[in-house]
């Protein structure tokens, strides 16, 4: 009796539909845990690289020092990637100084703002990869398991109908099958749901910091000198408005 409820005997006695449901749940579980491991490793590595870059950014005395760090280490994480896009925009502006009629893209401030916004959007797409998979597994796995549950209950009713008796030995196997499928569906869905919420919160936190850091990058590329990280976003926004107002007054 105990042997009949082992997982091995359950799989051996399962029919085609039950095995198909198990295969779907197994595939969802493997995909979920693979993504969890990869995203965790990537997040830890990105956190280290981000801290290294920010330390270099705040310690840099001028633009060339920041550019040298980017050339040596690349831009493997969102913060350095943002600065890289800013430098690219500045290079394009310098090339356009002698050929403004070729590209009428607006004021230099607008070009730089669009470049920084584009970098943030690219990182949002990249860091958001896999979220759809986690959401799909979390929302669909219970229903896939429920399909196996319904199928197990159907087997129990068929056994009762065939024997004309509702004794425990006639329904224990199919009912046990139904309970196992329910449990497997929940076991697949719960880690996916938790991982989705954790990674979504990490992503929101990262891009909240990245949006604030964009003001520092704008100030760096506009003045050539990194600002103190203790300045608030409101102060940076005010400085930008004052600078633009002075420029317009001079014209």
Q: What residues of the chain score a pLDDT lower than 50? A: 1-4, 99-105, 230-251
What is the dihedral angle through the alpha carbons of 115, 118, 120, 124, rounded to the nearest 10 degrees?
Answer: -170
Return the pLDDT at 225: 58
Q: Residue 133 burial (CB < 10 Å; 0-12/13-18/19+)? A: middle
Query: Are the CB atoms for 79 and 58 separated by under 8 Å?
Result: no
Does residue 236 fall inside a structural domain? yes
Return the pLDDT at 62: 78
Structural domain of residue 131, as residue ranges? Answer: 3-141+188-250
Return the pLDDT at 8: 63
Does residue 149 fall inside a structural domain? no
Number of domains in the chain: 1
Does residue 181 fall inside a structural domain? no
Does residue 52 fall inside a structural domain? yes
Closest by Cα among 130, 121, 119, 131 to 75: 119
Does residue 173 fall inside a structural domain? no
Q: How many C-beta neighbours within 10 Å does residue 151 have?
A: 18
Does residue 160 fall inside a structural domain? no
For 138-148, write each residue's pLDDT tens digit. Answer: 999 999 888 88
CA distance 66 to 68: 5
Q: Which two three-digit tokens encode residue 52? A: 């290294």
Return the pLDDT at 169: 61
Average pLDDT value over all residues in the chain:
77
Does residue 7 fall inside a structural domain? yes
Q: What is the pTM of this model?
A: 0.73
Does residue 166 fall inside a structural domain? no
């Amino acid at each position: 009796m105990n042997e009949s409820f082992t997982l091995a005997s359950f799989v051996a006695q399962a029919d085609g539909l039950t095995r198909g449901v198990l295969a779907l749940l197994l595939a969802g579980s493997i995909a979920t845990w693979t993504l969890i491991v990869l995203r965790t490793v990537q997040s830890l590595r990105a956190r280290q690289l981000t801290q290294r870059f920010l330390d270099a950014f705040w310690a840099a005395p001028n633009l060339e020092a920041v550019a040298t760090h980017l050339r040596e280490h690349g831009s493997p994480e969102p913060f350095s990637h943002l600065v890289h896009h800013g430098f690219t925009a500045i290079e394009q502006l310098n090339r356009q100084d002698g050929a403004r009629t070729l590209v009428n893209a607006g004021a230099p401030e607008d070009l730089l703002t669009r470049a920084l916004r584009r970098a943030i959007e690219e990182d949002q797409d990249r860091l958001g990869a896999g979220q759809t998979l986690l959401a799909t597994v979390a929302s669909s796995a219970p229903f896939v398991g429920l399909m196996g549950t319904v199928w197990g209950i159907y087997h129990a009713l068929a056994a009762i109908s065939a024997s004309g008796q509702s004794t425990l030995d006639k329904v224990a196997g199919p009912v046990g099958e139904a309970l196992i499928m329910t449990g497997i569906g929940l076991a697949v869905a719960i880690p996916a749901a938790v991982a989705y919420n954790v990674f979504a919160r990490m992503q929101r936190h990262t891009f909240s910091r990245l949006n604030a850091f964009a003001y520092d990058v704008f100030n760096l590329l506009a003045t050539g000198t990194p600002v103190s990280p203790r300045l608030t976003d409101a102060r940076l926004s005010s400085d930008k408005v004052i600078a633009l107002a002075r420029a317009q007054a001079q014209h």
